Chain A
């Protein structure tokens, strides 16, 4: 497969995953702001922006709807929903012959939806409805991707992008919120703390799944354990890293190069770190450092993958 094509598919997938993450986090944050207790709007917004990786142009100005509108519609910052959808479509357009017609039409529809007057007026009347319409569009795209595209190398690059982006986003989210999770503000009512915890889980669509595993008894260490170490839940970091590993293996099997030892080792190390550590050990050590290290390792995997499959030097390719 041409490196450029793999690159476009990878980024198409990453950008859509990012859009989805922004939609969910924005939705949860706006919901939490409805309740008057807990952090101030200012702090909440700053946390949201930090959890999205600090995109530019989103300094709090006191007007929530205006800020939310900016994060949804303005093609600024690498996490804005419109920016991500535009970028995903642009990537798809350049490899139109590699993806199925259904995929293209879905993505195109989502793109036109983001730019339609209808969604903007819907946004003014009900932000929730508008956000869930966007989410639907993204889910539909993922559905047709899995059911209409050949599960060859291109699809594996899509998977790789999806899981790497997701693992990175969850690690960022947890890094921002973990301090508060373990040291909640002094509050009059424990109800607020519950809302915060549910909010964090909902950012990863994990509330119901958590309840199935641990019942609705929410505790900080279990939440962290679930989002970090669960092997069966698609929005747990461990699950995502498994996905990354499988995708890289499959890329080789479908005609890509054998991954270099460096890359295999990098993925293997992260995988082992998440498979053979208990939450007790993580909490006994420095949890923030642990989360930060996950992000660093995700970045490193991306760089190695890039250097090896996409932007390799001619010399390195000729010497093999």
Chain B
């Protein structure tokens, strides 16, 4: 392929732009990277309307399966399908090995950090992480102080967001340690992909991910309270109006466990039960998809009816495992993120395998001054927000927006961080009937029970709008299947 491109490939690529950003499929000189050769050849061979047809049949498949998500704040059309791009994102075995080691290291260290902060706070006393940063975090839960969690696992289910820089190196953009979502899209993308490109898939030797629900189930089982050999495991959902409700029903069905809402649960003598038609049935493990704030009105927000009254006391008594543990949001605070390399070093005495993105802490005066002077070049994020909300992308912002953010930063510097605008990698997407590059990230899903388990793959999210840097589903993002090769 490197010596002269076939004519079909030229048509397919059209005026596919290549610039400074790393392109997943093509070398800077336009050659197709070796692990994308087979895909490129297949695409070049396909008649044009064939691609279109496959795309339509894939989309129909999502719609009839009801794989939708809910967008908040809009009256109509709140249920939408998550846009799906037909072309896989391919990761080599070598690249994956580094990602896997890096994430294992990172999650292990973050779990140590949570344990330490909620017990002895050695890392704070040693002044590796500033204690005011920890105690001012809105996800810090003082109720977790000295509370023993099963196997000392705080973060059993994690999804970390990776980006690839123009050096080709993967970096961690953020960790989602509370209730990461999207894994159902990873699984359904794969199922649709196998139907859309069966031969190509087979010829590539892609590592399987389909066993994720089973792994999740055994992770949850491994965290059951002592003396409960046949634990009753449930998935706690906020209910049908939650944006990820489809995922909750999907995972519950795939694992064969009950999908419960707060109103299905009652506590008595610090034991959690669910109401069944056969009477009360004891619950041992709760895979919680409800935020801390809404989990127990006795302890957290008293105006919330989504959780279960008395849940926290049952948890404290060790009669039920709730995972992820409460208060884990502390470790994915966007300001604490800047200290993760130090955290890894402190607990594991290792250098981070996956680097961080340079992050400015705005409570530090020098850094804040620098950021305020360079708002047009940086990305500013609110530390407690997710889903692409509360964000300023400097180069794409108006002067008015920058003024607004500057004012808010001055008023509450702890609430914001800033990072350079990243020129992260792009992958080819099928736009109309030709290929165009779009920015992508990668969210692998990490499970932590007996040990750290990462299914080889993840959700590749795509900023489908041309030039856009925001990949969140709530902001016009889509997704791709991710192939990790043998």
Contacts and interface: CB of A to CB of B under 8 A. Distances in A.
B249 A251 contact: no
B167 interface: no
Interface residues of A, number: 25
Interface string B309-322: 00000000000000
B277 A96 contact: no
B9 to A, nearest CB: 40
B275 A3 contact: yes
Contacts of A312: 275, 279
Given A3-B276, A320-B279, A97 B253 contact: yes
A153 B279 CA distance: 14
A170 to B, nearest CB: 27
Nearest to A256: B277
Contacts of B277: 1-3, 6, 153, 157, 251, 255-257, 309-310
A86 to B, nearest CB: 14
Contacts of B366: none
Interface in B258-317: 258-261, 263-264, 266, 268, 273-280
Contacts of A11: none
Contact of A96 (B66, B261, B266): B66
B252 interface: yes
Interface in B233-266: 239-240, 249, 252-253, 258-261, 263-264, 266
Contacts of A2: 258, 260, 264, 274-277
Interface residues of B, number: 24
Contacts of B276: 1-3
Contacts of B261: 4
A310 B274 CA distance: 11
A256 to B, nearest CB: 4
Contact of B264 (A3, A256, A257, A314): A3
Contacts of B266: 314
Nearest to A97: B249
A3 B273 CA distance: 12
A318 interface: yes
A287 to B, nearest CB: 37
Nearest to B271: A318
A246 interface: no
A28 B39 CA distance: 64
A143 B228 CA distance: 43
A314 B282 CA distance: 12
Contacts of B253: 97
Contacts of A153: 277
A93 B48 CA distance: 39
Most buried by A among B239, B266, B276: B276
A94 interface: yes
A153 to B, nearest CB: 7
B253 to A, nearest CB: 5
A256 B260 CA distance: 18
A310 B277 CA distance: 7
A257 B275 contact: no
A257 B279 contact: yes
Contacts of B240: 93-94
Interface string B24-52: 00000000000000000000000000000
B245 to A, nearest CB: 8
Nearest to B240: A94
Contact of B280 (A1, A97, A255, A314): A314
A157 B261 CA distance: 20
Contacts of B252: 97
Interface in B60-94: 64-66
A96 B247 CA distance: 12
Contacts of B64: 101, 105
Interface string A140-184: 000000000000010001000000000000000000000000000
A221 B268 CA distance: 56
A97 B276 CA distance: 16
A104 B66 CA distance: 10
A257 B277 CA distance: 6
A317 interface: yes
Contacts of A255: 277-278
B274 to A, nearest CB: 6
A101 B258 CA distance: 18
Contacts of B65: 101
Nearest to B268: A314
A105 B63 CA distance: 11
Interface in A1-55: 1-4, 6
Most buried by B among A157, A255, A314: A314
A153 B260 CA distance: 17
Given A255-B278, A257-B279, A317-B280, A97 B259 contact: yes
B255 to A, nearest CB: 11
A318 B281 CA distance: 10
Nearest to B277: A256
A6 B258 CA distance: 13
A96 B242 CA distance: 14
Most buried by A among B252, B266, B274, B280: B280
A257 B273 CA distance: 16
B258 A4 contact: no
Contacts of B239: 94
Contacts of B274: 2
A78 to B, nearest CB: 22
Contact of B278 (A4, A157, A257, A318): A257
Contacts of B264: 2-4
Interface string A286-320: 00000000000000000000000110101001101
Nearest to B253: A97
A318 B273 CA distance: 10
Contacts of A96: 66, 249
A43 B118 CA distance: 74
A126 to B, nearest CB: 30
Most buried by B among A2, A94, A256: A2
Interface in A64-116: 93-94, 96-97, 101, 104-105
B237 to A, nearest CB: 10
A3 B261 CA distance: 11
A4 B275 contact: yes
23 contacts: A1-B276, A1-B277, A1-B278, A2-B264, A2-B277, A3-B264, A3-B277, A93-B240, A94-B240, A97-B252, A105-B64, A153-B277, A251-B277, A255-B278, A257-B278, A310-B277, A314-B266, A314-B268, A314-B273, A317-B280, A318-B268, A318-B280, A320-B279
Given A2-B274, A101-B64, 11 more contacts: A1-B276, A2-B275, A2-B277, A3-B276, A94-B240, A97-B252, A97-B253, A251-B277, A257-B277, A314-B268, A317-B273
CB-CB nearest 5 A-B residue pairs: A256-B277, A3-B275, A97-B249, A317-B280, A309-B277
